[in-house]
Amino acid sequence: MRKPTIFPRTKAMKAANLAAKGKISELQSFLNETIESAPDSAWAPAFIKFNKWLEAPTKNELPYNVFMKGNGKLPFMAFSALPFVTCPGMGECSNFCYSLKAWRYPAPFLRQVMNTILIKFHKEVIAEKFMEIKKNMDVRLYVDGDIHDTETLIFWMELLKTREDLNAYGYSKSWEIFIDLHNSGYEWPTNYELNQSSGSRYQNVGPIRMALKQLPIYRGEFIAIDIDQKSSSKEVKELAKKLGLNGKSFVCAGYCGSCIPTKNGKGNIHACGSNKMKGVNVLIPIH
């Protein structure tokens, strides 16, 4: 049985909402209350360090890296924000959001809180760290969370135009934000691939689904299938067909580092970030 934490999901959600609304002093007080209630907890040192940063977010040393280089499962530079509070397109995905699993630990949760505060109120800090990413890296925008408004979408796309050496991709359920920007005549960067992530509240809105597919940055759909994670690729594809998901498909192995080996054997192609996989449904068992 999992040990209880002094910072259960209900408290984490309250902290997430305070961060998303920019209520910094209230967030500090809330974290201090938790520290006082359990000073010997593993969360206490993390909260103390985080509250010190909150005193001056643009001046004090960042408590965590804005962009993280992942392990074998996520071998790219990645940006994450808080789920739910940055997800205007959230639909049924709220029932199986894997991002909440990270909230059991101080560092992943507080990194999401930090990045949410930065992306909403101090984008210049993120821009500075973005320019420090090494050349020719793969970048995944939003392992957790989503693009929450047009201003933020433009921010990321303009940054990518300054770093054409980077190969960036992401998953989004904020479909209307992308469509509205496209309809304004916006010129998209050439180094970003968008995956139409299932579970959006627009999932069954045909005109919006079709409009997203017309964007030049659109790669294809990333579809969560309600089937056991241990199911074979064949079983996943068969269920997808029964659900009416036709067309070419590729079953995600769960490890981006071993996705599609290159012909020369040097590294792998991330199916979700490759324009060679345009129009291919990427299927994944709900995890």
Confidence of residue 1 (pLDDT cuts 50, 70, 90): very low
| 17 DSSP assignment | H
The token pair at 169 is 């991709």
State CA 131 to chain mean position distance.
Answer: 19
pLDDT value of residue 286: 75
pLDDT value of residue 53: 98
User: Is the pLDDT assigned to residue 2 strictly greater than 70?
Assistant: no
Model confidence pLDDT, tens digit, residues 225-271: 887 777 888 888 887 787 777 778 888 877 776 777 666 555 566 78
User: Is the pLDDT assigned to residue 45 strictly greater than 70?
Assistant: yes
Cα distances (Å, whole numbers) of residue 286 to 35, 143, 146, 196: 35, 15, 18, 16
pLDDT value of residue 264: 59
Q: What percentage of the chain exceeds 90 in pLDDT?
A: 63
Any idea which of 71-80, 110-119, 252-261, 262-271 has the lowest mean pLDDT? 262-271
pLDDT value of residue 3: 54
User: Is the pLDDT assigned to residue 65 strictly greater than 70?
Assistant: yes
SS (H, E, C) 131-195: CCCCCCCEEEECCCCCCCCHHHHHHHHHHHHHCCCCEEEEEECCHHHHHHHHHCCCCCCCCEEEE
Count helices and strands (H / E) in the chain: 9, 10
pLDDT value of residue 270: 79
Considering only residues 200 and 161, tell me which one the structure prediction assigns the higher pLDDT.
161
pLDDT value of residue 72: 60
Please provide the distance, in angstroms rounded to a whole number, between the alpha carbons at the two ends of the chain.
20
Separation of alpha carbons 1 and 35, rounded Å:
25
Considering only residues 250 and 158, tell me which one the structure prediction assigns the higher pLDDT.
158
pLDDT value of residue 40: 85
Q: What percentage of the chain exceeds 70 in pLDDT?
A: 93
User: Is the pLDDT assigned to residue 217 strictly greater than 50?
Assistant: yes
Separation of alpha carbons 16 and 33, rounded Å:
16
Confidence of residue 156 (pLDDT cuts 50, 70, 90): very high
